[in-house]
Amino acid sequence: MKELRTSVFSVDTTHVGVLDGVRALGVLCVLWFHFWQQTWLMPVYQTPFLAWAGVKQVNPDVMRRVGYLCVDLMLLLSAFVLYLPYARHTFCGTPVDPVKTFFKKRFARIVPSYLFAVIVMFAVAMATGAYKGRASFALKDLLTHLTFTQMLFNDTYLFTAITAVMWTVCIEVAFYLIFPLLARAFGRRPLLVYATMVLCGIWFTIAVSPALGESRIMVNRFLTFLPVFANGMMAAHLYVWYAERVSHKAIPSILGTIAAVAALYALIRLFQACAASGDAAHQQVWQMQNRMILSLVFTVFLLGAAISIRPIRRILDNRVLAAIAAVSYNLYLWHQWLIVKLCTAFGAKSGADIAAGGASKQWTVTITGLVIAGIVAALVTYGIEKPMAKLILHMRKEKWECITR
């Protein structure tokens, strides 16, 4: 694979380093939201050194309250990364994995860690009496999580004793199942497939909106995410087109920097609008109804940052964020469950109990939870995910077919 070089920077279409930083920050925003739910920690940072600009303090209250919007960003990134090899195939003729290999890689990437988390969390729930008097629900909760179908039922989606964040894995798995077909069609007719995905998502969103008062489960149904996945695939398509077709990149990199900054400002305003839309239920409805717009702005930010000038890219493409991105999947799976258990260990039943202990207790719980979540994520990533992925990917065809049959 050739790499185009200019005096500004080289464009690598096999690994986009900026994506690591974006993924890491996205996961941290979601983590911040869930930690805030349990601790009510709301620090305000005084900035006297910016008084000359009229900025006396920085209050990240909006990010705390609606940081979960970055779940859409992570799904967008997933579509981008998955479609990148197909975009290279379209513009460069490089080969893509056969369908069986694609599913084998996806299985190796997500299933071992996911199953480990489900089994451990379910075992703890059983041992602590979380399912007391609800044996049938316990069995249903376990089986639906093992089969990635918990999103199909209100109780296992909203009241699971395992961990609520795993619903996003269901969305990912549903996308994986249709992705090979979508990717090949997208490569032949990108505009047609893109428009179809977007319109289907918008149609479903409009169709289910009247029922939102009856069931929160409709907010995060797979079809509402089709525009997000479409934007991720189109972003990868445009990125490779840019890398292969645009020879002089100095001016585009400046324009990309401007676009990224403008998109970041737009994201802040969108986050503020979501936070101001009402309580948590109304915020979720806002998220679903504005999912297309939000993902478009995320896309502009992503592409702009990826082709921006080197100093801007270095903010996102560095070793610290890359290390967080490497364990981000397991950090996402475990962080909420761990902070809830930690607060329980501190004798707290809600965020009010932690807040009653003052800022010192809030900071103690938050920092302890962050450290524990980071350690667990690293241990599971390098002790289970990667060794198991290596084993699965090197497994003989006959054994693989026996496992997945």
Q: Which of 263, 156, 173 is nearest to 217 (CA)?
A: 156
Give the pLDDT band (50/70/90) at residue 44.
Answer: confident
Strand ranges in 86-214 using DSSP code E only, listed in sequence order: none
pLDDT at position 399, please?
A: 54
CA–CA gap between residue 79 and residue 182 (Å, rounded): 11
Give the pLDDT band (50/70/90) at residue 363.
Answer: very high
Span 129-144, mean pLDDT?
95
- Per-residue H/E/C for 317-344: CCHHHHHHHHCHHHHHHHHHHHHHHHHH
Span 237-254, mean pLDDT?
87
Is it the case that residue 244 has pLDDT exceeding 60? yes
Is it the case that residue 216 has pLDDT exceeding 70? no
CA–CA gap between residue 9 and residue 204 (Å, rounded): 42
Please tell me the least confidently modeled range out of 41-45, 163-167, 343-347: 41-45
pLDDT, tens digit (0-9, with 9 covering 90-100), for 256-272: 999 999 999 999 999 99
The dihedrals phi and psi of 4, each to the nearest 5 degrees, come to -80, 130
Domain ranges of the chain: 17-404
**Helix residue spans in 189-279 (DSSP H):** 190-208, 226-245, 250-275
pTM over 0.85: yes
Is it the case that residue 192 has pLDDT exceeding 70? yes
Please check whether residue 36 is in contact with residue 42, taking contact to mean a CB–CB distance below 8 angstroms. yes
The dihedrals phi and psi of 162, each to the nearest 5 degrees, come to -90, -85
Q: Which residue has the higher pLDDT, 65 or 53?
A: 65
Please check whether residue 31 is in contact with residue 41, taking contact to mean a CB–CB distance below 8 angstroms. no
Mean of pLDDT over the chain: 90
Is it the case that residue 117 has pLDDT exceeding 70? yes
Span 90-109, mean pLDDT?
94
Q: Which residue has the higher pLDDT, 348 or 197?
A: 197
Please check whether residue 42 is in contact with residue 64, taking contact to mean a CB–CB distance below 8 angstroms. yes
CA 368 and chain centroid, separation: 23
DSSP state of 163: -
pLDDT at position 66, please?
A: 92
pLDDT at position 154, please?
A: 86
CA–CA gap between residue 168 and residue 219 (Å, rounded): 12
